[in-house]
Amino acid sequence: MSLWLTLIGGIVIIAGSGVALGVALGITGLIILYFFSNGATSLAIDAIWGVFNSFTLSAVPMFILLGEILLRSGISEKAYSAFAPLFRKVPGGLLHTNIAVCTLFGAVSGSSLSTAAAVGSVAYPEMSKRGYEKDTVVGSLAGGGTLGLLIPPSLSFIIYGALTETSIGKLFAAGIIPGFLVAAMFMLYLLLKCIRNPAIAPRDPNVSSFWEIFVGFKQIWPLLALIFSVIGTIVGGLATPTEAAGVGVVLAVVISTVWGDLTFTKLIDALYNSVLLFSSVGFLVLGATILAQSVSILGLPQQILETVAEAGFGAYGVLLVVVLIYLVLGCFFDGLSLMIMTLPVVFPLLTGLGFDPIWIGV
Whether residue 67 sits in one domain with residue 31: no
Q: Which stretches of the chain drop beneath a pLDDT of 50?
A: none
Count of H-run helices and E-run strands, the chain: 18, 0
Query: Does residue 285 belong to any structural domain of this protein?
Result: yes
**3-state helix/strand/coil string of 349-361:** HHHHCCCCHHHHH
The pLDDT score that the predictor gives to residue 185 is: 92
d(CA 51, CA 210): 51
Please tell me whether residues 113 and 198 are part of one structural domain.
yes
Which residues fall within 8 angstroms of residue 275, CB to CB, at 6 or more apart?
A: 61
- 269 falls within a domain: no
Based on the fold, state whether residues 115 and 244 are members of the same structural domain: yes
What's the number of domains the chain is made of? 2
187 plus 292 within the same structural domain: no
The Cα–Cα gap between 65 and 63 comes to: 5
Q: Among 210, 234, 262, which residue terminates a domain?
A: 262
Q: Can you tell me the distance from the alpha carbon of 143 to that of 59, in angstroms, rounded to the nearest whole number?
A: 25
**Whether 308 and 258 share a structural domain:** no
Query: Does residue 130 sit within a domain?
Result: yes
Q: Which domain holds residue 345?
A: 2-40+279-361
Clarify whether residues 154 and 283 are in a common domain.
no
Please provide the DSSP assignment of 314-343 as one string.
-HHHHHHHHHHHHHHHTTTS-HHHHHHHHH
| 308 Cα distance to chain centroid | 30
3-state helix, strand, coil in the chain (%, to 5): 80, 0, 20
Q: Are residues 146 and 201 in the same domain?
A: yes
Q: What is the pLDDT of residue 40?
A: 65
What pLDDT sits at residue 39? 63
223: buried, middle or exposed (CB in 10 Å: 19+, 13-18, 0-12)? buried
pLDDT score for 4: 65
Q: What is the pTM of this model?
A: 0.81
- Whether 145 maps to a domain, the answer reads yes
257's CB contacts (< 8 A; 6+ apart) are: none
d(CA 220, CA 83): 10
With vertex at residue 148, the alpha carbon angle to CA 234 and CA 16, rounded to the nearest 5 degrees, is 120
Asked, for residue 224, whether it belongs to a domain, the answer is: yes
Pair 219, 137 in one domain: yes
